[in-house]
Structure 1
Amino acid sequence: MKPFPYLQKANTSFTDREVTKIGDLMKEWDGETIRGVGLIGAHLSKSSISHSGACFAPGTIRKALSGYSTYSVEENIDLANWIIQDLGDISMHITDVIQSQNRIYETVQQLLKEHSSWLPVVLGGDNSITYPSIKGFKEAKGEVGVLQFDAHHDVRNLEDGGPSNGTPFRSLLETKTIKGTNLVQVGIRDFSNSKPYHDYVNKHGVTVYTMKDVRQASMKELMESSLKKLEQSVDSIYVSVDMDVIDQAQAPGCPAIGPGGMDAVDLFEAISYLGEHPMVKGLEIVEVDPTVDFRDMTSRVAAHVILNFLKGKQRGGLTFD
């Protein structure tokens, strides 16, 4: 018997032998073949048009995610056998935004080309990471369709401020990385966009569901019609979640909070449904600013977005063990 049986390492949390947490599944990538889910941080926020501490979000989202149980009591689904590898964070250039975006593009593209079977979950960072992430995803996965959950169109002109967190979808469309007809925007919010930018996405054939559409139709109906449209013309589908799509009461830690946003439960339902589809092969979460959050509320919501995505994947028959 140990002389002091009740002593343990400092800061050790309580452990229940009958509870498996996501943190028990998360392992640091060893540099060999990537299997299962791959978490990768893209902690860029110098490109935000307003103050943002989104560069700290990958860490807080990982921490929040690791503390939740693997078991979905609502659907009797257990993620306990999944493989979750943490690939670490992409190193950003200290001053050069373009160089930082290129690093994101090169890393995502190379990882997906060299390791084709893993499921990427990209943790931003601000919304500027979306352009290089999807560009790299497209080059590895073929023609890509995008489901964008966002309060904003994010098609600001590139002349006034250069590539920022307000321009990723402008860059994707202008460079023809994606076609406008292969982009679906969900949760676009009243008094958060300008008419010229709404006209721009309409001109490019983007499907836009405003918050009024979200309130008036079921989330399942919107996702079902979106997937039916995209699956006819793309090789794979990428889901981009800007956390400011959620109402400010439930996601206070966003640089661009506002009233009239989506309920977190509706977002979970949508993400879970999308995860079930075999063509949905990537997820990113952006615009969480832990420096203005309250008790990591927004990071916790982001963690549940990931959990619901994986739940949908398992419901659709995908497992990694």
Structure 2
Amino acid sequence: MALNPPIGEVQLQKVKQAFDKTLNKSDERAARQERRREAILHGDIPTFMEVDAARNVEQLCNADAVVLGFPFEGPTSISPSRAAPPSVSRPKAGSVYWRMGADVSPDHIREYSIFYSKHHNGGYHPEIDRDLVLHDALRIVDYGNCTYDPVDTMNTIREGIQRVGEIVDAGAIPFVLGGDHTTPYPVAKAILDRRTDPVGLVVFDAHVDFSYTPGEYWASNQWAQLMLETGKIDPKNISIIGIRSSRNAFAELKLAESLGVKVYTSTDVKQLGMNAVIAEAIKKANNGTNGIYVSVDIDCMEPAQVPSQKAQEIWGLSIDEMFAALRALSRENFIGFDICEHSPMYDVNGQGAQFCARAVVEMMGGLALSKRKSR
């Protein structure tokens, strides 16, 4: 096979000019550089992706996406027959069944979001889109954390509803870092209180969470409370993906299915493939609705890949499967997103925290593409 001739002088100059142009854009060797004030939320915790912090409602103005921490921990299972209130001491190291710590997860996720700092490259993710620079397309701010009161958890829930309401009123999409899986109650409640149309729901979870305890709010009855209180989520528009394990009550699963909820076990995902499953779930969520709410309980994931789960269950979704699903959902008309049940004390090398941060980035990428398309 004949070899190509050496690069000609004209072509070589074009290559050099391209490199020089890039160098000029990134050149920071000015005579004096002003010190950049670090994007610190509090203490030594950075804001999510080092975006600007919104310290008050006014600073939400013109935001497209707002990150909010909901550091909440409700009752926790000590054993199959006992539960601990959130105000008790933490479980001892090595506890097998009783695992806590979701209330300190938002800041841990923020620490590992540094891998996606806007100062790296403005949020350029070629794997999402080769021409998209995230922070050129979206204004993203971090609205800090709700105040957690383990004695009176309703205080935290009420503040969550208020803070998410402020985000929605500002015209932005809330991206909420839980907290346990009580998190979608205040988030979706605030969103739905401001809407008249029904919405669809796509949930990733190892557990159905169809308990019903009137007057109580915790991480197993959030869907019943939302459906009954808002009247804007029809069970026929709900899909729950990743179900497995003996912690699912037979009656709850059958109740969900009898109401029209589509329940996909981890076996369903492995056999059908995530692309087929998420296409069905999106179709179901969009049927007669205006918008999709997305909730991710990380115990849907295989714990070997995401080890920071409060309620780990073997044989969960893979990272490939999850991001295929989020990639599809991010390109839909989604109205809110939460990721829950991360616990730093069980994390390994930050794998769980970085997974949570990346899930938020993935959803923001889809939002950025839709914003770019509409302009």
Q: Is 1:42 paired with 2:97?
A: no
Matching of residue 105 in structure 1 with residue 177 in structure 2:
no
**CA distance in structure 2 between the partners assigned to 1:94 and 1:194 by the alignment:** 27
> Structure 2: where are the runs of 5+ without partners?
1-34, 39-47, 78-97
CA distance 1:99–1:192, shift in 2 (3 Å): same
SS in 2 for 1:127: coil
Q: Letter of the 1:54 partner, please give it.
A: A
Task: Spell out the pairing of 1:152-171 with structure 2 (5 A cutoff).
Answer: 152-158=207-213, 162-171=216-225
**For the structure 1 residues 195 and 88, does the alpha-carbon distance in structure 2 shift closer, same or farther, using more than 3 Å as the test?**
same
- C-alpha deviation, 1:162, in angstroms: 4.1
- After TM superposition, give the deviation of residue 62 of structure 1 in Å: 1.4
Q: CA RMSD in A?
A: 2.7
SS in 2 for 1:108: helix
- 1:205-230 Cα offsets, whole Å, 9 max, x none, are 11111111111223222222222222
Report the CA distance shift for 1:319/1:120 in structure 2 as closer, same or farther (over 3 A).
farther
What displacement does 1:174 show? 3.8
Question: What TM-score, normalized by structure 1, do the two folds share?
Answer: 0.85
Contact 2:176 2:338 in 1 (8 A): yes
- Show the counterpart of 1:63: 111
SS in 2 for 1:181: helix
Q: CA deviation at 1:30?
A: 4.8
Percent identity between the aligned chains? 24
Alpha-carbon contact 1:48-1:128 (below 8 Å) kept: no
Amino acid at match of 2:139: I
8 A contact 2:52–2:141 mirrored in 1: yes
Change (3 A) 1:35 1:296: same
Q: Which amino acid aligns with 1:115?
A: A
Off by >4 Å, runs of 4+ in structure 1: 317-321
1:83–1:320: 8 Å Cα contact kept in structure 2?
Answer: no
User: Is the contact made by 1:35 and 1:320 (CA closer than 8 Å) also made in structure 2?
Assistant: no
TM-score, normalised to structure 2, is 0.73
Deviations 1:132-162 (A, max 9, x none): 2111111124422111011100112427x94
Which among 170, 175, 178 is matched to residue 121 of structure 1? 175
Aligned to 2:366: 312
Please give the alpha-carbon distance, in whole angstroms, between the structure 1 residues aligned to 2:55 and 2:149: 24
Rounded Cα–Cα distance in structure 1 between residues aligned with 2:370 and 2:274: 18
Asked which structure has the greater CA Rg, the reply is 2
Report if aligned partners of 1:153, 1:169 keep a CA contact under 8 Å in 2: no
Higher alpha-carbon deviation: 173-182 or 266-275: 173-182
The one-letter code of the counterpart of 1:106 is Q
Distance 2:265 2:323 in 1: 17
What amino acid does structure 1 have at the position aligned with 2:72? L
Unaligned runs of 5+ in 1: 1-7, 12-21
User: Which whole-Å CA distance do the structure 2 matches of 1:251 and 1:319 have between them?
Assistant: 33
Kindly report which structure 2 residues correspond to 1:100-249, keeping only aligned pairs within 5 A, or say none.
100-112=156-168, 114-116=169-171, 118-142=172-196, 143-158=198-213, 162-175=216-229, 176=231, 178-249=233-304
**For residue 264 of structure 1, what is the aligned residue in structure 2?**
319
Distance change (3 Å), C-alpha of 1:106 and 1:47: farther
* Offset of residue 94 of structure 1: 4.1
Q: Larger RCO: Structure 1 or Structure 2 (Cα < 8 Å, ≥ 6 residues apart)?
A: 1
Do the aligned residues in 1 keep the contact of 2:200 with 2:284 (CA within 8 Å)?
no
